[in-house]
Amino acid sequence: MRISRVLFAALLIVVALVVQVSVLARLGLPGAVPDLLLLVVVGLALTYGPTSGCMIGFAAGLCADLAPPADHAAGRYAFVLCLTGYVAGLFVSRSPRRSVLAPIAVVAFAAAATTVLYAAVGALVGDGAVRQVGLTKLLLTAVVYDAILAPFVVPWVMALARKVDPKPMLSGLSR
């Protein structure tokens, strides 16, 4: 992985995380919070492929686990976003000219998957909060918000990512 790619991803992750907790979460929208961090991870994974995707996802998740408002066990988001980054990376786009719908579909799927997976990991380590709170409303709102935000974020992230490191690792796929 090139150094420019690492720096670029790190910068995007930090910016996305801070904007998410200090701006988006404070909007007070009903239900879930638009997950900017997830959009960045998906965008980068769609450009750089599964290996980079899972590394970027892991780093982003770890930041989200440790940065201030977080109070859950460290590693929970890292686990979830690592897996999400890998799977999103499998849908790596071959040509720069591609419909914007595919990334949105990936984002919507990823939003649902991360919410459920996060709850599942919590249940596995004995966090019973999910049963108290209920999952459906959070799941629906998370998918809707992320899908709405995706066309404004993911194409930008992908374009920037290509500019920073123009060679997507397509050979990472054994298809």
Partner 1 sequence: MRDSRHGRLVLVLLLAISFALITVDIRGGRNSPIANVRDWASAVFGPAERGVSAAVDPVGRAVNAVKDAGSHEGEKKRLQDENAKLRQQVDNIEFDRNRAAELDRLLKVSSAGQYKIKPARVIAVGPAQGFSWTVTIDAGAGDGIRPDMTVINGDGLVGRVTHVGPMTATVLLASDPGFAVGSRLAGSMEIGITSGRGDKPMNLKLLNGQANVKKGDRLVTFGSQGGKPFVAGVPVGEVAEVRNTPGELTRSVEVKSYVHFSRLDTVGVVIEPPRTDPRDAVLPPLAQEVAAPPSAPAAPPAPPAPPASTEPPKGTTAAKPPAGGTRSNNANAADPGADGRRKPSSGGTTPPTGRD
Asked whether the beta carbons of 5 and 55 are under 8 A apart, the reply is no
Least distance from C-beta 137 to partner 1, angstroms? 8
Cα torsion through 169, 82, 64, 10, rounded to 10: -20
Residue corresponding to tokens 């980068």: 44
Label residues 48-61 b or e (16+ Cβ within 10 Å = b).
Answer: bbbbbbbbbbbbbb
| 64 vs 158, beta carbon nearer partner 1 | 64
Least distance from C-beta 119 to partner 1, angstroms? 6
Closest of 56, 37, 147 to residue 102, by C-alpha: 147
| 80 vs 154, beta carbon nearer partner 1 | 80
Least distance from C-beta 80 to partner 1, angstroms? 9
| 20 vs 104, beta carbon nearer partner 1 | 20
| 1 vs 159, beta carbon nearer partner 1 | 1
Least distance from C-beta 43 to partner 1, angstroms? 18
Least distance from C-beta 99 to partner 1, angstroms? 25
Q: Site residues (CB under 8 A) for partner 1?
A: 1, 14, 17-23, 25-26, 28, 31-33, 35, 49-51, 54-55, 58, 61-63, 65-79, 82-83, 86, 89, 114-115, 118-119, 121-122, 125-130, 132-134, 138, 142, 169, 171-174
- Go through the chain and tell me how many residues it has: 175
| 79 vs 109, beta carbon nearer partner 1 | 79
